[in-house]
Amino acid sequence: MRTRHVALLLGALVLLTFAAFAGSARAADGFTPGSAGLGDPFFPNAGNGGYDVTNYSLTLAYERTTNHLAGTAVITARATQGLSRFNLDLRGFTISQLLVNGQSASFARDGQELIITPRPPGIRAGTSFTVTVAYAGTPAIVTDPDQSIEGWIPTDDGAFVVGEPQGSPAWYPANDNPRDKATYDFAVTVPAGLKVMANGVLISNVTQNGRTTWVWRETDPMAPYLATATLGRFDLTESTVSGIPSYVAVDPQLSKGQVLSKLPAIVAFYSSIYGPYPLNAVGSIVDSAKEVGYSLETQTKPVYDRMPDEATLAHELSHMWYGDSVTLTQWPDIWLHEGFATWSEWIWSEHNGNKSAHQWFEQLYNTPAHDIRFWTPPPANPGTPVFLFNGTIYYRGGMTLQALREKVGDFAFFRIMRTWAKQNRYGNVTTPQFIAHAEQISGMDLDHFFDVWVYQPEKPTSW
């Protein structure tokens, strides 16, 4: 027995030595794990390192009566390093198959992390690869730090599907970081009589055996959180706006009113000041989902939880330029979306002969300095994700742009806005980049201006 134990011990030592050698050899060959998160200050585990997604092809089937979602996601990506393993973000679901380049791969789950180990030696840096994930189950509703909800939210007749800032992995596996934009293909099958509204252009809808498959394609780069597949009973109007396909879907439970008829004029006005409309389609999805409590600028077709008013319609459409085409790099810079969209409401009002952007500024600026809830936190320094969508991000953000307009003059200001949209089309940006851009266009030193407006918690008094 002692001899046998010695033999087993020697064998184990040989195996351990070989495993260590093999591991170091893989690392030496340039194969290492991709990071499990991209280190966003508010959502550090969201996103994954080591690759860039180029396309998501999502084939989904949904049953509202059982709230059951079955999907197959085919993800095409390019390795930015040699990958011995890599992660995707996915919340819940049972996975029935996982392939890398058509071959079975092992995987493990850890919270929202789907940890995938391809066959040795791994995926070489610079190469394209595909990941196929077949999954099914009950999609999650995600509660954010500010207690708002997102993800795949059931409605009376379907689902309200929104993802900002961390809800997309509740319904499909993703590299859930706004820096990793990709194109999308959707094929969603639902009971006949329901409509599916996803991003991009409608390719087809075919009904067979009591079920309809809706196929949409988004060919412009899109951040994962902007994807939608909102479904239910809708009155769908298809048209063109400035030569671009337009899709307006309205829940028949809701009174239509006249506000949606302003969509073409709003798009035309923003195109005149911000530059050409940047995406391949436009539209609106208006669903009865008041428990959600907000609208979202899902790319090409903002989703509204009720019939919007004119200011909300203008706000969300402006995001097609600032938020969807030009997207933040990290979530604390959300004012680059919401402040810009708030100011866009004001300039639309001014354009129509109503309250001017200056009047909006004056009204809000008259809020006393001791009203801390109004002035704090500052737009570019929310502090925690609890305040990510705080009113100050919107109002002080919008006021920052109006104050900038009055400081540099209309000619320089509108050139700043237009070139910002043009130069960063489909890209990602930061507040320091916008400051540098504004200084370059205006020829002015704006460090103090932006410090007091977007970084300091006190009410700005001189700039």
8 A C-beta contact, residue 408 and residue 416: yes
Domain assignment present for 12: no
8 A C-beta contact, residue 322 and residue 336: yes
pLDDT class for 15, splitting at 50, 70, 90?
Answer: very low
Domain assignment present for 17: no
User: Which pLDDT tens digit goes with each residue over 146-183?
Assistant: 999 999 999 999 999 999 999 999 999 999 999 999 99
Adjacent-strand bridge partners of 134: 72, 97
Are residues 227 and 80 both part of a single domain? Answer: yes
Adjacent-strand bridge partners of 6: none
Are residues 155 and 198 both part of a single domain? Answer: yes
Are residues 77 and 192 both part of a single domain? Answer: yes
**Phi, psi values for residue 204, rounded to 5°:** -165, 160
Q: Map residue 9 onto helix, strand or coil.
A: helix
> Which pLDDT score is estimated for 3?
35
- Please provide the average confidence, as pLDDT, over all residues in the chain: 94
> Which pLDDT score is estimated for 86?
98
Angle at 231 between CA 229 and CA 234, to 5 degrees: 130
Instruction: Rounding to the nearest 10 degrees, give the CA dihedral for residues 386, 44, 86, 216.
Output: 40
Are residues 305 and 423 both part of a single domain? Answer: no
The tokens of 444 are what?
A: 């002015």
Are residues 185 and 276 both part of a single domain? Answer: no
Are residues 207 and 180 both part of a single domain? Answer: yes
- Global pTM? 0.93
Task: Supply the range of the domain harboring residue 357.
Answer: 327-455
How many structural domains does the chain have? Answer: 3
> Which pLDDT score is estimated for 27?
55
Are residues 346 and 451 both part of a single domain? Answer: yes
* Percentage of the chain modeled with pLDDT above 70: 94
Domain assignment present for 462: no
